Structure 1
């Protein structure tokens, strides 16, 4: 970590992120142990939702790992962790419907999803370079390098900002489908919402961390330029 005027804020957000991750794990685990009344696995729900939205060509795959679920916009595949793929739990339905929500976004070319896809690779490379540029800039007193680092951190903030509406919209689509199709109701609906809300908080924490890091490096760059 490069210390600056917002280091304490970064540490606070980091701790908050750990708490949120713990909350997500507990919530996901709780509803992962509750069998949904329809007896549908995540794979079955995903297949049904995809077919009903004209996406029968999109495969549903099982992938290793815990909470490794994701939609691949390049290969056009819905990928579910093995537990969500195979088990008929409330968590599996919520997560599967969320990932299919991304597939539907891709189908309709949701602007935020398209933008996030275009930003992903260059900003990922930039964030790998940013800490090195800042460190070299501080050690050599080259303010130009510091400001390049600031720009790269600003790019990371932009990525997180664009990610928020993409993730919130996918969860909205998931809950709407589950409710309208009568897949979940009552306590199961509350459980599905709790799982997706906990997941959404992790993206909010990611945005908060990116903002704090940008403010921190901006403060460093300003102090070095004075």
Structure 2
């Protein structure tokens, strides 16, 4: 019974944030007839208002909304790019918030700019190292070599988890120091919708929490495998 409770708690910890984010985004993704423009149109307007005409906007795959600092582009899902919903507006403003951070070279953007790409590469290296452990153990048959590879793999995977956690202040800043004041003070959203906008922006900011938890789950699986190989 205790084991079942622990398993349920772990699953809630891992999947709870992801399910909540998806629920909030879907809940407020309903077209509003009084919305003056689409998410894409709002993003373009806000970028021009902040003298960021060089930042481009384009559509991307569903669920892949982001600002790409390398190409200096805000990318929005088709449903948000062309949609006139609270979610469309909030997501667009959130990604514009990231564009403002990077183009102003704000300190909060420096960690992602310098290290996130490296974290992705390190994570892949870690996965490759851990996948190679059974083969290494069978061919070399040197326990210390296998242990060293295991340590390298685990450390490289952990690095991506720490980076995800470290960039959360940037996500929070994009939502609540950029997007929310812009939408509120600019009167882009009627006051009665602001509580919903806050929820959506919180979901946007916590997207990386879900990603970090998913990486921790992957790490636990590899650690269980390593225990079996000992």
TM-score (norm 2): 0.79
Indicate the residue corresponding to 2:140 in structure 1. Answer: none
Q: Does 1:131 align with 2:136?
A: no
Distance 1:216 1:88, change over 3 A: closer
Q: Does 1:167 align with 2:167?
A: no
Q: How does 1:1-150 map to 2 (within 5 A)?
A: 12-35=9-32, 37-63=34-60, 65-137=61-133, 140=137, 141=143, 142-150=146-154
Q: Which residue of 168, 171, 185 corresponds with 2:190?
A: 185
Aligned-residue offset at 1:93: 0.6
Distance 1:126 1:80, change over 3 A: same
Distance 1:67 1:219, change over 3 A: closer
Q: Which residue of 144, 152, 159 corresponds with 1:155?
A: 159
Unaligned runs of 5+ in 1: 1-7
Q: Distance in 1 between matches of 2:33 and 2:195?
A: 12
Unaligned runs of 5+ in 2: 138-142
**Alpha-carbon deviations, 1:82-127, whole Å to 9, x = none?**
1111122111110000000010011121334232133233322221
Distance 1:75 1:215, change over 3 A: same
Q: Distance in 1 between matches of 2:32 and 2:55?
A: 26
Q: Distance in 2 between matches of 1:128 and 1:34?
A: 40
Distance 1:54 1:11, change over 3 A: farther
Larger deviation, residues 103-112 vs 139-148: 139-148
TM-score (norm 1): 0.80
Higher relative contact order (CA 8 A, sep 6+): 1
| 8 Å contact kept, 1:42–1:93 | yes
Partner SS, residue 32 of structure 1: coil
Q: How many residues align?
A: 217
| 8 Å contact kept, 2:39–2:92 | yes
Distance 1:32 1:131, change over 3 A: same
| 8 Å contact kept, 1:153–1:214 | yes
| 8 Å contact kept, 2:42–2:92 | yes
Indicate the residue corresponding to 1:3 in structure 2. Answer: none
C-alpha RMSD of the superposition? 3.0
Larger deviation, residues 168-177 vs 209-218: 209-218
